[in-house]
Structures are given as C-alpha cells and as structure tokens.
Amino acid sequence: MTANEILDMLYGTLHTTGIYNFQWNIVVMWCVGLLFIYLAIAKKYEPLLLLPIGFGIFIVNFPLVPLMGYSHGHAQLLQVFYHYGLEWEVIPCIIFLGLGAMTDFGPLIANPKTLLIGAGAQLGVFITFTGTVLVGFTLKEAASVSIIGGADGPTTIYLTQHLAPQLLGPNALAAYSYMALVPLIQPPIIRLFTNDKERKIRMRQLRPVSGQEKILFPLIASGIIALLVPAVIPLMGMFMLGNLMKESGVVGRLTESAQGSLMNIVTIFLGISVGATMHADKFLSWKPLFIFSLGLLDFGVCTMGGIMTAKIMNLFLKEKINPIIGAAGVSAVPMAARVSQMVGMKYDKTNHLLMHAVGPNLAGVIGSAAAAGMFIAMFD
C-alpha cells in the first residue's frame, strides 16, 4: 500500500468521525439536554420524564450517531421506538391506561361541579389557537400547539401526531417541560388572581363515594366520551379501562402491572423517543423556538382560566369554592393538585385543599382530551 493510499484511507476514516462533522449548533442542543438532566437530578422536577428526555436530546445531537432515521433500509434504534411508540400512538394510550389505574375519581364524583373548572381551564387552548394562526401557523399546526396549555403530555402527542407530526418534538418537549415546572409557574399566577380572603376559604369535607359509583363512573364516562368526542376514545377509553380495573378489585395483578412495570417501561421509551426528535437541524428554527416560548403563555392562561372559572362560580354558589383549586384545572396530574395544597397551606396551615383540587385536576384531563377530540374532528 502506497503512502497516498494510506493517507486517503486515513482521510476517509476521518470523514466518518463526529469530530470532522462537528457543527456549532449541536452545542446548543447539548446544553438543552444537560439542562433537562440537571432539572431532573438536582431539582427533582418530573425526573421520570425529564431525565430520559434530556438524555435523548443529548445523545442524538452527536454527529453521525446511528440512532434516528434509516440505514440500508432498516430503522435505527430510537427510530424504532419513535415509529411504533409515537407514530403509531401506542405509548400515549398505554400511559393513559397506567394513569387510569392510579386514579381515584372519588373527589370528582363527590363534587361534579369541578367539571366546570376543568372546562374553564381550557381557555388558554383556544386563545393560543387564535394567536398561533395569526402569526402564520396552519390550522392543524395551531391546534396541535394550543393543546400544550392543557399540560397533558400524552394528549399533546396524540393530537400532534394526528395533525402536525412535524411538530411532535417541540410540542411534546414544551408540554412535558411545563408539566415539570408547575411548582414554579403556578404559585405566582395564583397569587396574582386571588386575594387573601379567597385563599383562606374553607371547603366542606367531601362526601364518601361508594364503590358502586366508582365502578359505574368509568363506564358512563366512556360512553359519553365515545358519543361526543369519538376521536379521543383510544386515549380516554384506555384511561377509563385502567380505572375500572382498579376500582373493580378483581384484577389486582393487571392493575399492579399497569401502575408499575408497564408504566415504567413505556415512560422510558416515551422520554428517550421525544428527546431523540430534538435534533439541532429541526429544533433551532423559528417555529420550534416560538412554540417553546408560547407554551409558557398558553399554560399561564389555562391556569388563570381555571382560577377565574372558580371565582365566577362563587357568584352563584352558597358554599364557596376556594379559587386556588382552579389552578388544578390543568391536566398536570397530580402535580397541579399538590401545588394547590401547598399554596393554600401557606395562608392557612389547617386548610387542606388537596382532595378538593383533585376534582378539577381530573376534570382537566377530560377537558384537554375533549378539546383535542374537537380539533381532530375539525381538521383531521
């Protein structure tokens, strides 16, 4: 082998390395991924999601890594997770199955008025939809972006995959980011839209809910949703199935699997698949960056919408609702309900709002799914 041939071989090998193909913009994405990992480890903000998402962002942004896309006609590793899990909409539905198996609808059944709060908390969805259309997004893109304010990651993925799959990465990242940052975002909004007297309102203890009511609820809710917004029955049907398994008490092994091992497995695949979509070439453009910034405003308006709905309801109710629980009308289960409890106890250490806040929190899950179903019916 001649010296020139050796040099050509070395030069060709250099071409296959990440060092030769290095670009400055991937450093930005490394920082984004490491920020998510930092928030997960140091701040413990939704670590089950932010850790795999952050690592997915970090690892996919090395040059030439065979993780996303296709090679010689075969899908690469994370492309397989993404294709079967997100493109085929399997993972969001399985996550809803697990969430249903963890959910107690008792507070919502005991105080069905809180359904109105969950509906009111969708205000930001429709305001954001209008604003996003005005700045140049298509109707389908605007619908998929606006659902971020509902703070429901699986629903955001489900709707985006239907209407604007090219925005799946930034939409999912924004939704899960703001879900994780609920403890930072919501308290200032609660303080801004409530006064000291309202924050100290005490609510009567909820009535006991019978086992029969809890069994009937997922059946009745599934039927109503299937009739009114059939497009989201894959999500909500699995949600109600998980809850029926839990409340029936006869399939303990299935319920335990849905709550535990199955939920944990799909969460890993969800997180790393979402992160892997965030390649620098796709993320560092005006639309994804605009979506990420707009998501914060969207989430804030949804939080405000829930609070103001509770305050409007108080104009007509003899037994007043503490408007703090209106903030739980977004679908960040159970974090938003815990934040309502935390804020309420700052003003009255003996005023426990957690169970009252669970009602609008679950209503927000149903409300965001209903909004998604409406968008799918209109634009798909």
Show Cβ contacts of residue 225 under 8 Å, excluding neighbours closer than 6 positions. 232, 233, 236, 237, 240, 366, 369, 370, 373
Radius of gyration of the chain (CA): 23
Task: DSSP letter for 364, please.
Answer: H
d(CA 292, CA 297): 10
pTM for the full model? 0.91
pLDDT confidence of residue 20: 62
CA dihedral 281, 174, 92, 241 (to 10 degrees): 180
10 Å Cβ neighbour count for 288?
A: 19
Type of residue found at 36: F
How far is the CA of 280 from the CAs of 39, 58, 86, in angstroms? 21, 10, 20
pLDDT confidence of residue 356: 95
All residue ranges of the chain with pLDDT < 50 are none
Show Cβ contacts of residue 264 under 8 Å, excluding neighbours closer than 6 positions. 48
d(CA 192, CA 205): 27
pLDDT confidence of residue 3: 66
Upstream peptide bond of 52 is cis (omega within 30 degrees of 0): no
3-class secondary structure per residue, 262-299? HHHHHHHHHHHHHHHCCCHHHHCCHHHHHHHHHHHHHH
d(CA 365, CA 238): 13
Is residue 54 within 8 Å of 40, Cβ to Cβ? yes
The H or E element spanning position 212 is helix 211-228
d(CA 183, CA 177): 12
DSSP, residue by residue, 76-113: -HHHHHIIIIIITTHHHHHHHHHHHHH---HHHHH-TT
d(CA 154, CA 133): 23
Side-chain-side CA neighbours of 51 within 13 Å: the count stands at: 11
- Residue 71 pairs in a beta bridge with 74
319-350 as b/e: b if 16+ CB within 10 A: eebbbbbbbbbbbbbbbbbbbbbebbeebeee
E strands present in the chain: 70-71, 74-75
Q: In a 10 Å sphere around its CB, with 0-12 CB exposed, 13-18 middle and 19+ buried, how is residue 287 labelled?
A: middle
- Strand, helix or coil at 71? strand
